[in-house]
C-alpha cells in the first residue's frame, strides 16, 4: 500500500476552492471516490486524515472545501460566521457541493459512476443536501450531521442511498428534527437508514471534542461503530 496525497484547486463561479485528496498508488485503474465534507471549522487536518483512511479502503478520498482556499475558523465564533451564510442560503450550499461533485469526477483515478459523500456535523448536512438536490450518485453517510431540510428541494427524488449516524443525546439535532428527517426521506422515496447511538452527543467522532456544556463530546465506541457502519455501507453501494 502506498497512500499518495495532494491538494487540487477547483472553482465555484469565481471562488477558488482547494480540496485535499488521497489514493492508494499501488492499485491500478479507476476506483470509487468518496467526497468528505468538513465540520463548521473548514477543510482541516481532521478531514485530511479521513481522506487517507478512505484511500486505505481502496477508494479515492476527496476532502471538500466549502469556504475557499486557506479559509479556516479558529474559534466557535469564527466557525459560526463561516458556516452561517450556507445555512441561510442552502441553494448556495448545494451549488458549492455540485462544484466538488464535478471536480472529483475529473480526477484520473476516479470511476465517475461510483461516487459517495460523507460528512461530519455541518459536513453531514452538505452531503445530505447534495442528495436532496437530486444528484445522481451512489450514497451519503452523515456522521452526527445536522438534519434540517432546506426549503428548495421538496418534490425531488433522492437517488443516493442514505445512512445517517446520530447521537441520541445530540442537543444540536433534537428528536423533532430526527423525526422530520425520517418523514422527509420517506416522502422523497429514498433508501434510507438511521443509526442512533445511545449515551452519545454531537461530534462523537472527534477526539478533540470535550465540551459537554456545548454538547460536543468524543465517544470512542460510537466513533468505532459508526466508521464500521460506513465501511459496510460503502462496500454495499459500490458492489
Q: What are the tens digits of pLDDT across the range 171-218?
A: 999 999 999 999 999 999 999 999 999 999 999 999 999 999 999 999
For residues 86-111, give the mean pLDDT: 98
pTM of the predicted protein model: 0.97
The rounded percent of the chain whose pLDDT value lies above 70 is: 100
Q: Would you list the domain boundaries of the chain?
A: 3-237
On the question of pLDDT at 65 being above 90, the answer is yes
Angstrom distance (rounded) from CA 182 to CA 209? 27
- Asked if the model's pLDDT at residue 1 lies above 90, the reply is no
For the chain, the C-alpha Rg in angstroms (whole number) is: 16
The per-residue pLDDT for 74 is 95
Residue 77, judged by CB atoms within 10 A of its CB (0-12, 13-18, 19+), counts as exposed
| Confidence at residue 14, expressed as pLDDT on a 0 to 100 scale | 97
CB-based contact 181:190 (threshold 8 Å): no
Average pLDDT of the chain? 97
Give residue 204's pLDDT: 98
- The pLDDT score that the predictor gives to residue 225 is 98
Asked: is 3-237 a CATH 3.40.50.300 domain? The reply is no
The cell for 77 is 465564533
Contacting residues for 224 by C-beta, under 8 A, at least 6 apart? none
Amino acid at each position: 500500500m502506498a497512500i499518495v496525497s495532494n491538494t487540487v484547486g477547483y472553482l465555484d463561479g469565481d471562488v477558488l476552492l482547494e480540496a485535499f485528496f488521497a489514493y492508494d498508488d499501488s492499485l491500478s485503474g479507476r476506483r470509487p471516490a468518496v467526497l468528505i465534507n468538513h465540520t463548521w471549522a473548514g477543510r482541516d487536518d481532521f478531514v485530511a486524515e479521513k481522506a487517507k483512511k478512505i484511500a486505505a479502503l481502496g477508494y479515492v478520498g476527496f476532502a471538500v472545501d466549502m469556504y475557499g482556499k486557506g479559509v479556516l475558523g479558529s474559534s466557535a465564533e469564527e466557525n459560526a460566521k463561516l458556516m452561517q451564510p450556507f445555512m441561510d442560503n442552502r441553494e448556495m450550499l448545494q451549488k458549492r457541493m455540485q462544484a466538488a461533485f464535478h471536480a472529483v469526477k475529473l480526477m484520473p483515478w476516479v470511476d465517475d459512476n461510483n461516487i459517495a459523500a460523507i460528512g461530519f456535523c455541518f459536513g453531514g448536512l452538505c452531503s445530505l443536501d447534495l442528495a436532496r438536490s437530486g444528484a445522481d450518485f451512489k450514497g451519503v453517510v452523515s456522521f452526527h450531521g445536522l438534519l434540517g431540510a432546506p426549503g428548495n428541494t421538496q418534490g425531488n427524488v433522492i437517488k443516493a442511498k442514505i445512512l445517517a449516524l446520530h447521537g441520541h443525546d445530540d442537543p444540536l439535532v433534537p428528536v423533532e428534527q430526527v423525526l422530520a428527517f425520517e418523514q422527509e426521506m420517506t416522502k422523497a422515496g429514498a433508501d434510507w437508514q438511521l443509526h442512533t447511538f445511545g449515551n452519545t452527543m454531537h461530534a462523537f467522532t472527534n477526539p478533540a471534542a470535550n465540551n459537554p456544556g456545548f454538547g460536543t463530546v468524543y465517544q470512542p465506541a460510537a466513533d468505532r461503530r459508526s466508521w464500521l457502519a460506513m465501511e459496510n455501507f460503502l462496500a454495499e453501494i459500490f458492489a
